[in-house]
Amino acid sequence: MQTITQDQANSRHIRRDQYVSCNVAFIDCKKPGSHLKENYSIIGPGVTSSSDQVINLPEPHGFNIGAAAMPHGITNNLHIHFTAEVFIVQKGTWTFRWGSEGEHTFTGNEGDILSVPTWIFRGFTNAGPDDGWLFTILGGDKTGGVIFHPEIIHEAANYGLYISKHNTLIDTSRGDAVPQDGETTPPMPNDAVAELKPVSPAEMMQRLVAAHDRDFRPGFIDASLPNCGAELAPVIGAGITQNRDHTAKITNPHGFSAEWMRLQPGQKVSPFSLDEKMVLIVHKGKLAVRLNNSLNVECTVNAWDTYSVPGDTIRTFEALGDGPVEVLIIVSGDHRKVPHFSRETLEAAAQNDRALDAGGFVARASILPSYKLGA
């Protein structure tokens, strides 16, 4: 089991005031109506094209965590991703568009999560009255960058902006040399655009987990223990839930899973370990994260903060303050993850007629055949 120091734990806590925006991350950064975009790379580089981008935690996780912030009316233009792109609406109202000309739209609000398929054009606009914020999850450690719509690439050249073959932004207004033929990524030809798979609005809505549709249920074996009972609501893939009635709405491989966790004031999760890396994005409230077997290392993670828990490390969570805490949990891998609770927790649960069946799901201990604690 891995043990970490307080300094190491602190380095994995990225506070909201540590996020650093980049306003020249993409080729459309000078387009009127897109010039006030802010791009953030919180864990991993994401898809930025700029060497100016600050990455808070470069350590590979199998996925990237980023964010986009924009004032009212500002647009991120149509582009293609090669790995999963998931939007979490932290603040505001956002219009998402997709299709070869952005012909389909959906409006998302706080707490909504939308996973956009790869290899389709997508873009988004802050449709709310004030500044908005989106967290993003991108699949893989290497995302391959993006392809912007041909119209955006043609227009960007008017502002002296180009994308090199290596996905780096060339800005001639800042002294970069005008690229020669063959040095830039060319606009996607019309026949290639025509080959892109159409995604209907009905299909896209199957990739939406709206805030009001979250299926919160007790998530862990310790649910009946004093001050426990954290609830989980699956979003993407096979996560850490131990509730056999849980099913994520979005099931295609992303390279990670995502689940909401909700804790009422004073509620906690008993100590457990996980083989995989786990990232927490606190949507609302204040969360205590305690680490190591002795729980001697602690970080207080506030709303809008991001925290990375290393694999093979014991951790426990507790809601601080007088309101509920909502946290999005992202774990690497498409497989089902297995939380490892202590024998003491399993024994205490057994006193309340609760145990884990052979599939790792909570069941009544008294009805399990040949039940043996910890077997």
> Out of 178-182, 201-205, 237-241, which region has the weakest mean confidence (pLDDT)?
178-182
What pLDDT is recorded for position 170?
85
- Residues 145, 234, single domain; the answer is no
Q: Which residues contact 339 (CB under 8 A, 6 or more apart)?
A: 220, 240, 242, 272, 273, 274
- Residues 165, 283, single domain; the answer is no
What pLDDT is recorded for position 161?
83
The 10s digit of each residue's pLDDT in 55-110 is 999 999 999 999 999 999 999 999 999 999 999 999 999 999 999 999 999 999 99
- Residues 204, 232, single domain; the answer is no
Range of the domain at 87: 17-208
Paired tokens of 341: 């609770």
What pLDDT is recorded for position 50?
75
Residues 79 and 98: their CA atoms lie apart, in Å, by 9
Domain end point (choices 208, 236, 271): 208
> Out of 3-12, 28-37, 122-131, 199-208, which region has the weakest mean confidence (pLDDT)?
28-37
> Mean pLDDT for the chain?
94
Q: Which residues contact 70 (CB under 8 A, 6 or more apart)?
A: 36, 37, 38, 76, 125, 126, 131, 132
Q: Is residue 2 part of a domain?
A: no
Q: Is residue 70 part of a domain?
A: yes
Using DSSP, state whether 348 is helix, strand or coil: helix
What pLDDT is recorded for position 258?
98
Domain end point (choices 178, 208, 238): 208
Q: Is residue 75 part of a domain?
A: yes
The domain tally of the chain equals 2
Domain end point (choices 208, 236, 252): 208
- Residues 172, 146, single domain; the answer is yes
| Domain CATH number, residue 316 | 2.60.120.10
- Residues 154, 176, single domain; the answer is yes
Q: Is residue 11 part of a domain?
A: no
* Rounded average pLDDT over 168-187: 82
- Residues 224, 199, single domain; the answer is no
The 10s digit of each residue's pLDDT in 267-296 is 999 999 999 999 999 999 999 999 999 999
Q: Is residue 5 part of a domain?
A: no
- Residues 184, 296, single domain; the answer is no
